[in-house]
Amino acid sequence: MPTIVFIERNGHRQPVEADAGITLMEAAVDCEIDGIIGACGGNCSCGTCHVYIDEPWQARLPKRSREEEDKLDEVAAEVTKSSRMACCVRLTPQLEGMVVRVPPTQG
C-alpha cells in the first residue's frame, strides 16, 4: 500500500495511503484532493486529472500512451515533461513516497 504525497494548489502537502493497483486519479478522488476532479471516471477523456509527477519518480512510470499524449494537448494548465493524466498512472509498491503536484488550473 504505497503512500503518495499530493501537493495541492495552495501548497498543502497531503499524504495519501492507497491500494496498489488503483490509479492515481482514484486515490486522489477517494481522498478528496483539491483540484483532481476525474469527471470522466478514469477514461482519459476529460482532462480533469492532469498532474505533475516530481522528477525522481518519472523513470518508474511507463511512458505516456498516445491516448494520454492526445488528452494532454487539451488540458487547461501548462503541459511539461512531468505532466501525466492521473487516470493513466497505476499505483505500485515501487511508487512509495511519490510526490504529485496539482496544477493551478484544471479544465
Return the CATH number at 21. 3.10.20.30
Query: Measuring CA to CA, how many Å separate 13 from each of 80, 86, 99?
Result: 21, 17, 9
In 3D, which of 78, 70, 31, 73 has the Cα closest to residue 51? Answer: 78
Q: Would 93 be classed as within a structural domain?
A: yes
Domain count, the chain: 1
Q: Would 65 be classed as within a structural domain?
A: yes
Distance from C-alpha of 25 to C-alpha of 107, rounded to nearest angstrom: 15
**Could you list the pLDDT tens digit for every one of the 107 residues in the chain?**
899 999 999 999 999 999 999 999 999 999 999 999 998 888 998 889 999 999 999 999 999 999 999 999 999 899 999 999 999 999 999 999 999 999 998 75
Q: Which residue segment(s) compose the domain that 82 sits in?
A: 3-101
Place of cell 478522488: 29
Q: Would 27 be classed as within a structural domain?
A: yes
For residue 30, the model assigns a pLDDT of 95
Answer yes or no: pTM beyond 0.95. Answer: no
For residue 1, the model assigns a pLDDT of 86
Q: Would 21 be classed as within a structural domain?
A: yes
Torsion sign, CA atoms 106, 56, 87, 71 = positive
Q: With contact defined as beta carbons under 8 Å apart, do 98 and 3 qualify?
A: no
